[in-house]
Each structure stands twice: as C-alpha cells, then as structure tokens.
Amino acid sequence: MLQALDNHGKVVTLYSLNKERLAKLKVEGHFYCPVCKEKLLIRAGEKVIAHFAHHRKSSCPHGGEGAYHEQGKLDLYKWFSDQGFRVKLEHYLAEIKQRPDLLVEIGSKTLAIEFQCASIPMSDVQRRTAKYRENGFVPIWILGANKLNRLTSQMIKISSTDASYIHQFHEYFPLSIYYYCSLQKQFIFFQDFYFFTQTKAYGSLSVMALDRATLKDFFTMRKLPSDQLLQTWREELKKWRNRPVPFHQKNETAWRQWLYLHQLNVQTLPYFVNLPIQTEFMAKSPPWVWQSRLYLDLILKQKKFSFTDAHDILRNHFYPASDFPLIHSSFHPVREYFQMLERIGILKCYKQNIYVVIRTTV
Ligand SMILES: [Zn+2]
C-alpha cells in the first residue's frame, strides 16, 4: 500500500520522499496498517516504488499486491489528478467496508477505480462491484498488464475468471476490458470483441501511452471492422475443422462422438454452427457445442420454435447475468446467436420470441 498510519495515527505516504529520508524512516519509523493495525515494513529500492508491506505471515485483506501494483496505483493517481479531477488514494468507504485503490470525482459522479494485478475469486469481484453500484459509485476495474495474454495483434485470451472484468457502460457500448502496465506506462484497451473459443477473443486492441491518454479514452467506442472479423473467423474455422483432438480432452471427444451418432462430423457441420459470439463468456461450453445442440435439436427438427424452447434445451449451459455486474445489457448468447442466424437468412423472428426456420443449409 502507498499509505500507512504513524505513531500518532497520521496518514503517511512515501513515494515523494528522497532517499535519505526514506533510509532514516526505514530504521526509525513505526508504521501501521489502517485496516489490521499490524506493524508494517517499508519496501523501496532503485527500481521499486517506495511502499508499505505487511510481514509475510499477515492475513490482512489490505495486504497489497507488490511493487507493480503500487506503482500502477500511483501512476493512475497522478494521471487522474493531472487531468484536474479530485482523487482520493486508498480511501476507506466505511458504509460499504471497501477500500478502492482510487476514488475519482467527476462532476456528480464518483468512480471507484480498482487496479487489479493479482487473481482473486470471481465472487469477490462480483460482490465488490455490486456494492459499488448499489451505493452510487461507478466501478472501473483496470487489470494489470501482467494478466494480459496476447495471442496476436488483435487477439487475446480472457480466462473465465477474468471475464468478470468485462465492462459495458450502456447497451450500445462495445464490450471492453482495460489493462495498464506500470513498467511500460501504457494502457491497453480491448473492445468490441468476439470469442472464437471460450477464452480466445478477437477484437479491437489499442495501446496508448499514459501521458497521451485521457479519461475520455475509457469511454471511446473502438469498433472492430466487420470484414476483419469475417476474415479472421474463416481462418480460425479452418484451423478448428482440421485440428486433431487429443483423447484426454474428454468433453471435446464426447461431443464429437455425439456428432457421429447423428451422422455428422466437424467437416460436414454447416459453418453457422460455430459462429463467433460476443457473450460467449457467459457460456459454460465452447460455441460449437451449444450451437450444435440448437442446430440438431431445433433447427433441423422443427419448423418453428420459441426462445424458451432453446433455453430449455440449453438449461445449465450458461452462467446467470448476475455473475457479470459490469455488463449493462441484458444480452444472452442464444439471443445473440439467433440474431446472427436471422442476418444470414437461416431464421426469421416473426413475433418477439418465435422463430421460423427459413433454410437449414447455406
Ligand atoms: Zn493490514
């Protein structure tokens, strides 16, 4: 953490102190955690930002996440302050018993900024986000770029636990996930992405130096050009169709056997049975698994069906929307998929929840 209490209960910060002063404090100073009141150590060095740390055995929830995190927190603190916003560092919100890394006042709104570098349980992210929102704060989670797993220039891996950090500020806002690197001093904005697998997402990725970015960049809508998506998806589809499946991948093997029982295989499945989906992170199985269920059990078998029929077939295939409190829209993978099928002329929605099959091949 960047702040601690001294013997008199006064808040002390270290990052602005010179070497001599720091060396003196390291020996003579007594500092305490504002949460657990334990005695703290000072960590500082040539490449390490001066900060407070608990003793190794501490189990304090305000434990801190190391120098990378502390540096990022301070960078962001200065970045917001330089833009003229009122910022509070590590401020304790007694009413909700939470301590966001930063609180930023913007007009009548207050942003609760969390710079998250360590992995924490999804349920913690959900609970903390929900509490911020219930109490009128706008939560923004910025992930440490140490958690960024970049596959190509426009493709990253978003693990199922990191999916709870996906933001969507309003219904028409593209899905967005934010990263900051406190070593390279840059933001990475990843937006408007589609999942080719449960974790592999393709979207608009932009890197921006901290000193060139402003808060507006968090709310800018960077769209992925549709021709780029189409081209990449075709390449991915080809790879997927030709990839060997090792037998230890039990679920995938079982799914392929299920296809064989229906006289089908991955090569003969129509291409629309593996469409990239934006809300795939809400699904518990890969896109081709649940989409093929809909294809075989509904599209091939029935001339007409309802959204509820689809929902019944895929019971337990999706996480509840409440698992993603940063997402505003009420979008659902099946609804998104049906809309795509409408666009390519497979289905037609003729009442709000009733779909008619137009054709089954392309
Ligand atoms: Zn503590």
- DSSP secondary structure string for all residues of 246-260: -TT-HHHHHHHHHHH
Q: Closest Cα to residue 178, out of 169, 167, 170? A: 167
Question: Which residue's entry shows tokens 């953490």?
Answer: 1
β-pair type (137-144, 176-181):
parallel
Q: What's the gap in Å between 134 CA and the centre of ligand 1?
A: 26
Q: Does the pLDDT of residue 65 top 80, yes or no?
A: no
pLDDT value of residue 18: 87
Q: How far is CA 86 from CA 16, 90, 255, 266, 291, in A?
A: 19, 13, 54, 56, 48
pLDDT band for position 342 (cuts 50, 70, 90): very high
Rounded to the nearest integer, the mean pLDDT of the chain is 93
- Give the DSSP letter of residue 346: S
60 pLDDT tier (thresholds 50, 70, 90): confident
CB of 326 closer than 8 Å to CB of 332: no
Residue type, 256: R
Q: Which residue has the tokens 């490449």?
A: 47
List the domains of the chain with CATH numbers: 1-63 (no CATH), 66-227 (3.40.1350.10), 245-357 (1.10.10)
Q: Is the pLDDT of residue 177 over 90?
A: yes
Compute, in angstroms, the gap from residue 233 CA to the centroid of ligand 1.
Answer: 48
Confidence check: pLDDT of 79 > 80: yes
- Tokens linked to 101: 């890394």
Query: For 233-241, which contacts have Cβ atoms below 8 Å and span 24 or more sequence positions?
Result: 233/194, 233/196, 233/202, 233/275, 233/276, 236/196, 236/202, 236/276, 237/271, 237/274, 240/196, 240/266, 240/274, 240/288, 241/266, 241/267
Q: Output the six-digit token pair for 360.
A: 């089954």
Cα–ligand 1 centroid distance for 113 (angstroms):
20
Residue 155 one-letter amino acid: M
- pLDDT at position 322 is 86
Measured in Å, residue 35 CA sits from the centre of ligand 1 at 5
The set of residues, in sequence order, having a beta carbon less than 8 Å from that of 339 and lying 6+ positions away, is: none
Q: For residues 290 and 313, is the Cβ–Cβ distance under 8 A?
A: no
pLDDT at 271: 93
Mean pLDDT confidence for 348-358: 92
Question: What does the pLDDT average to over 216-229?
Answer: 94
Residue 242 pLDDT: 92
Helix (H, G, I), strand (E, B) or coil at 219: coil
Give tens-digit pLDDT for 230-254: 999 999 999 999 988 888 899 999 9
* pLDDT confidence of residue 310: 95
Q: Which of 283, 269, 289, 294 is nearest to 362 (CA)?
A: 269
Q: How far is the CA of 342 from the centre of ligand 1 (A)?
A: 55
Instruction: Using a pLDDT cut of 70, give the percent of the chain over it.
Output: 99
Q: Say if residue 44's pLDDT is above 90.
A: no
Cβ-based neighbour number of residue 33 at 10 Å = 21
Stretch 13-25: mean pLDDT, rounded? 88
Say whether pLDDT at 336 is over 90. yes
Ligand 1 centre distance from Cα of residue 66 (Å): 14
pLDDT digits (tens, 9 = 90+) for 121-175: 999 999 999 999 999 999 999 999 999 999 999 999 999 989 999 999 998 899 9
d(CA 340, CA 141) in angstroms, rounded, equals 30
Instruction: Compute, in angstroms, the gap from residue 39 CA to the centroid of ligand 1.
Output: 8
The answer, yes or no, to whether residue 61 has pLDDT greater than 80, is: no
Q: Ligand 1 center to residue 37 CA distance, Å?
A: 6
Tell how far the Cα of 90 is from the centroid of ligand 1, in angstroms. Answer: 13
- 229: CA distance to ligand 1 center in Å? 47
pLDDT at 102: 97
What's the CA-to-centroid distance between 40 and ligand 1, angstroms? 8
pLDDT at residue 329 above 80? Answer: no
Q: State the Cα–Cα distance between residues 130 and 127, nearest whole angstrom.
A: 5
